[in-house]
Amino acid sequence: MNALVKNLLENQTKVKIQKPNCKTRSGRSLLAFYLQTKFKQIINHDKKSNKQMIINYKKDFLDNFTERLINYPENKILIALSGESASGKSTICKKITECIKKLNLPITILAADNYFKDISHLIQKYGNFDLLRDAGYDIDSPQNFDLNLLKKDILQLQKGIDIMSPEYLVNGTGKSKPKSIPVKSQKIIIVEGMCSIYNEVSDIFDIKVYIELDDTERKRRFLKRAKLRNQNEENALKHWEYIKKAGQKYLIPNKENCDIIINGECDLEYFSHMVEYINLITNNFYEE
């Protein structure tokens, strides 16, 4: 375990804090102040790490977030997790899933890529996805996601209502199956996928997190993944050029609106221990 995080965890377990009454505004305000103090502690410790987890963050995001917790404590916490292809979104979500199981955390992860619109008719028309892409189809465009449904489903989860999300099949058929995946509303809802920070949905999130990784490493990861999937190298390079342009067009402009920028090369063990520490300092939040 990273020595810095180990120190944080050991110190936190020694701290005995009387739980404030989160049913009152004054109690929630006290807890918000406590959270702000602990977040600053995380930032200071992270800066001393060999490979920082947090690259940058908005100076006002914590004030805005804690104000929301004070004013609307009944709402679930909505977190967008976005970034360009091969930046590490899925890997980080897998690590979060491991932490959820280990710590029994009340967290739900919703895959935004399941909200791609059904394009099976186009796949049939052009023969396969690669030919469709080569014909100019821009799959990562906001208009190719059902963002209205995504927003509606997220707001349902925020209110504590379970949903059935669609399932976009990744078998090359371009098919989307409506209401196929049960998604439970829990204390924290993480929506993972590039479209989570598109303008049509980004305003509903309490925290927007962007995973950043340089193009050289992203390309290496992308081509390695393509090889594991037995994709033709020439076609993989074509698709890399497409997603690179799509990222510059649809994601980079929205990056500045994100609250926290996370390093896509962050050590995953270090990341998991940071999640464990964050859990320790937030587990007193009021839950109906």
For 77, other C-beta atoms within 10 Å of its C-beta total: 20
Identify the weakest region by mean pLDDT among 16-25, 31-40, 264-273.
Answer: 16-25
Q: Alpha helices, DSSP H only, in the chain? A: 3-14, 25-47, 61-71, 89-103, 120-126, 129-134, 147-158, 199-202, 215-228, 233-246, 252-255, 268-282
pLDDT computed for residue 1 by the predictor: 47
Any domain includes 65: yes
Tell the residue number behind the tokens 């920082």, with chain if given.
Answer: 52
Structure confidence at residue 8 (pLDDT) = 55
- Total domains in the chain come to 1
CATH of the domain at 193: 3.40.50.300
Q: What is the mean pLDDT of the chain?
A: 88
**Considering the domain boundaries, does residue 35 fall inside one?**
no
Q: Residue 15 falls within a domain, yes or no?
A: no
Residue 136 tokens read as 């100019």
In a domain, 235, yes or no: yes
24 Cβ contact list (under 8 Å, min separation 6): none
In a domain? residue 29? no
Which residues are CB-contacts of 226 (< 8 A; sequence separation ≥ 6)?
A: 233, 236, 239
Q: Are 114 and 181 in contact (CB under 8 A)?
A: yes
- Give pLDDT tens digits for 136-194: 999 999 999 999 999 999 999 999 999 999 999 988 899 999 999 999 999 999 999 99
Task: Determine, yes or no, domain membership for 37.
Answer: no
Domain interval for residue 138: 54-265
pLDDT band at 285 (very low <50, low <70, confident <90, very high): very low
Question: Residue 273: inside a domain, yes or no?
Answer: no
Q: Is 5 exposed, middle or buried (0-12, 13-18, 19+ CB in 10 A)?
A: buried
> Does residue 180 form part of some domain?
yes
DSSP 190-241: EEESGGGGSHHHHTT-SEEEEEE--HHHHHHHHHHHHHHTT--HHHHHHHHH
